[in-house]
Amino acid sequence: MKNNDVEISQSGINYAIIAIMFVGIIAFSAMNMYEPQINDQPDIFELIFYISQFVAGIFGVIVAKKYWGSKVFGKAYLALGVGFILAGLGSLLFVYYEMNEIVNPFPGWPDLLIGPYFLLLLYHLLSCTRYFKKKFTRNDKIIVILIPLSTVITFIMITSIPAYIPGSTPELLSEHIVIDDTLFKLVETDSPSTKYQQVTVNDVTYNLIPIEFSTTNYEQIPETEFPIKFIPIVFSNMVIGEFQEYDFDYWLGYGLTVFYISITSLNLGFAIIGAKIFHQTVLGSAWSLLTVGIALIAIGDIIYYFNAIYSYDKTLDLPFWVFGHFVVAYALYIHKKNL
């Protein structure tokens, strides 16, 4: 079968493989919840994430080579493959900095690799969607405008308007200190203690109670009575109407975060449109699956940036990232098989 400048043969999705990947990611998520989170020491689940980025990138480059005779798709898939490889290198550099405590990794050198990844992904989505649909409908425009706009506005409001929830994790962690890589909870006391070490600050004496975390979750998180456990969060980085003095690094990091949220939300919007457009093409199943994978990665990105407002918990976004990258890799495999 021939589609303009690309010769294509038809081959569908093996949904058994998708089912196996889905079951695998559920198991991945369950086991990941019980793995202690040590930010300066990557675990097997984080290593799988790094591998998935490179796997998707390598398949992207292979498909780009197959598509190279095309006026559009060769460059589009090369951008996709190189983008994922840059993201993988950026992730490895980020964790290298964390492990060696060289510098604060954000914002930093890893962003010179991660930033272009988002732009290359957007280039791929724009090139492919505009090839099949020269003019977007009103609904398409609403999607690509509303998703990024609502996401960015929500992020800015959350980080600008202070909210206080008694008993929340941030409130409890505000009473904690770290001494020689050990976390202690400060509990005010009026009497000497033989069980705990004590510290006196401004004539107030505190017991230093060591805290050990057995999972990635904080033990102090209060739980609701609902079937689903909700984690209360407090945000108080900036206050609207009250000028806060922050250094250049803070504003650079904040601006970079807003940019990342904007661009990954835009990618999510174009992935949704792409899934609708590609469904009608001769390679619809593979292209649609590719956009589903990109959408999963974008959702993981959005969860990560909102999750990292206060403290990062890898159990929330890592499954979306890993599943998304492997779905992308499988979709690219189908592309390669069909070309």
User: Which of 234, 261, 288 is where one domain is finished?
Assistant: 234
Q: Do both 21 and 129 map to the same domain?
A: yes
User: How many structural domains comprise the chain?
Assistant: 2
- Confidence at residue 8, expressed as pLDDT on a 0 to 100 scale: 44
Q: What is the pLDDT of residues 126-173, one digit of tens each?
A: 998 888 888 888 998 999 999 999 999 999 888 776 554 444 444 444
Q: Cβ contacts of residue 231 below 8 Å, gap of 6+?
A: 169, 221
User: Which of 185, 200, 234 is where one domain is finished?
Assistant: 234
Distance of CA 339 to the CA centre of its chain: 31
Q: Do both 154 and 170 map to the same domain?
A: no
Q: Do both 14 and 119 map to the same domain?
A: yes
Q: Which long-range contacts (CB under 8 A, 24 or more apart) does 185-194 make?
A: 185/209, 185/210, 185/211
The tokens describing 144, both together, are 């690509």
- Confidence at residue 316, expressed as pLDDT on a 0 to 100 scale: 83
The tokens describing 314, both together, are 């890898």
- Confidence at residue 313, expressed as pLDDT on a 0 to 100 scale: 73
The amino acid sitting at 11 is: S
Domain that holds residue 197: 166-234
Residues of the chain with pLDDT under 50: 1-4, 6-10, 164-173, 213-244
Rounded-to-integer distance, Cα 63 and Cα 78, Å: 8
* Residue 63, in any domain of the structure: yes
Q: What is the pLDDT of residues 251-274, one digit of tens each?
A: 888 889 999 999 999 999 999 988
Stated as kind and residue range, the H or E segment containing 49 is: helix 44-66
- Confidence at residue 109, expressed as pLDDT on a 0 to 100 scale: 86
Find where tokens 């929340």 sit.
Answer: 168
* Residue 204 bridge partners (DSSP): 201
* Residue 187 bridge partners (DSSP): 207
Collapsing DSSP to helix, strand or coil, 182 comes out as strand
- Confidence at residue 170, expressed as pLDDT on a 0 to 100 scale: 46
Spatial contact of 109 and 93, defined as CB atoms under 8 Å apart: yes
pTM above 0.85, yes or no: no
